[in-house]
């Protein structure tokens, strides 16, 4: 990929040449605790952006705000030039931005293919039963099943089609979460710690899938603690600490920023910051 970031400043809130997401003055506090206080944030289209930072930095909270699952006290953001303030998660998904979901207890008791069908319905804001019960929606149902099956093949989960989601390994669950999110053909996909609990055998395959999605033209924003993975696949890294963005830059240099090192050390984090860690 030609380096679209060549002229982007290595500083918090840096402007990008072609931003798909622009956020301003996003503030979220829980009682007296400021969880997110982001002045300006842009995500470059068709790139893989990593959002990193010590535990409690506000990464997941910021994710929830950007996808409409939580409401900020103040803030505004745009997706593809359209304001998303006060927009429901289903509408945000219809606009083309989705996040993956952890498989909850209820989803564990459904089969893999049922999870996929439900993924399509949730993201269109449809009634739960329309997605699961054939009948009135027969032809759409068939279309959804076809798409689900082709995604399951792509993510090597087709043999698990009729198994309960709860019986999958950690890595297979992550693949299912990703496949599920793709049911609505999103332009942008957001992943919160995609590598957590994944065994090394599946890590490579997950990384390849993420890079492949970018190469197909999707935009990816992911939160991750594993710096090895961040260095391997991200085009740009945004660092949060105590609710704010404290640094931005390419993966091979951003960790040597003093503010970043201080933030991690202050948090007694066990992340390996060395440049050549692998």
Ligand X SMILES: Nc1ncnc2c1ncn2[C@@H]1O[C@H](COP(=O)(O)OP(=O)(O)OP(=O)(O)O)[C@@H](O)[C@H]1O
Residues contributing to the site for ligand X (CB under 6 A): 30, 33, 35, 53, 55-61
Query: Do the Cβ atoms of 176 and 112 come closer than 8 Å?
Result: yes
Closer by beta carbon to ligand X, 114 or else 226: 226
Closer by beta carbon to ligand X, 116 or else 223: 223
- Minimum Å gap between C-beta 61 and ligand X is 3
Residues 53-82 that bind Mg ion (CB under 5 A): 60
- Minimum Å gap between C-beta 78 and ligand X is 22
- Minimum Å gap between C-beta 262 and ligand X is 17
Identify the DSSP state of 244: E
3-state helix, strand, coil in the chain (%, to 5): 40, 25, 40
User: What do you get for the CA distance between the two ends of the chain, in Å?
Assistant: 23
From 125, 150, 145, select the one nearest 134 (Cα to Cα).
Answer: 145
Q: Which does 135 bind (CB under 5 to 8 A by kind): Mg ion, ligand X, none?
A: none
From 277, 187, 181, 172, select the one nearest 230 (Cα to Cα).
Answer: 277
Closer by beta carbon to Mg ion, 60 or else 205: 60
Query: Do the Cβ atoms of 264 and 55 come closer than 8 Å?
Result: no
Residues 224-243 that bind Mg ion (CB under 5 A): none
Closer by beta carbon to ligand X, 61 or else 100: 61
Q: Which does 250 bind (CB under 5 to 8 A by kind): ligand X, Mg ion, none?
A: none
Strand partners, 43: 21
Nearest-angstrom CA–CA distance, 124 and 141: 13
Residues forming the site for Mg ion (CB under 5 A): 60
């Amino acid at each position: 990929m030609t380096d679209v970031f060549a002229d982007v400043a290595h500083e918090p809130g840096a402007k990008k040449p072609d931003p798909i997401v622009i956020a301003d003055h996003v503030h979220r506090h829980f009682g007296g605790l400021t969880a997110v206080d982001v002045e300006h944030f842009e995500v470059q289209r068709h790139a893989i952006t990593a959002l990193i930072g010590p535990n409690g930095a506000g990464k997941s909270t910021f994710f929830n705000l950007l996808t409409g699952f939580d409401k900020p006290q103040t803030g505004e953001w745009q997706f593809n030039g359209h304001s998303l303030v006060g927009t429901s998660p289903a509408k945000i998904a219809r606009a083309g931005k989705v996040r993956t979901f952890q498989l909850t207890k209820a989803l564990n008791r459904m089969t893999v293919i049922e999870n996929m069908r439900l993924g399509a319905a949730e993201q269109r804001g449809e009634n739960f039963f329309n997605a699961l019960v054939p009948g009135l929606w027969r032809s759409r149902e068939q279309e959804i099943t076809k798409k689900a099956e082709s995604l399951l093949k792509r993510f090597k989960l087709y043999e698990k089609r009729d198994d309960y989601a709860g019986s999958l390994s950690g890595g297979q669950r992550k693949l299912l979460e990703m496949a599920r999110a793709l049911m609505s053909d999103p332009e942008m996909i957001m992943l919160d710690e995609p590598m957590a609990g994944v065994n090394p055998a599946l890590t490579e395959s997950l990384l390849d899938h993420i890079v492949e999605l970018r190469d197909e033209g999707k935009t990816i924003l992911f939160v991750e603690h594993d710096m090895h993975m961040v260095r391997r696949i991200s085009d740009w890294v945004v660092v949060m600490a105590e609710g704010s963005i404290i640094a931005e830059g390419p993966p091979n240099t951003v960790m040597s920023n003093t503010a970043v090192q201080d933030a991690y050390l202050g948090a007694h984090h066990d992340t390996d910051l060395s440049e050549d860690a692998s």
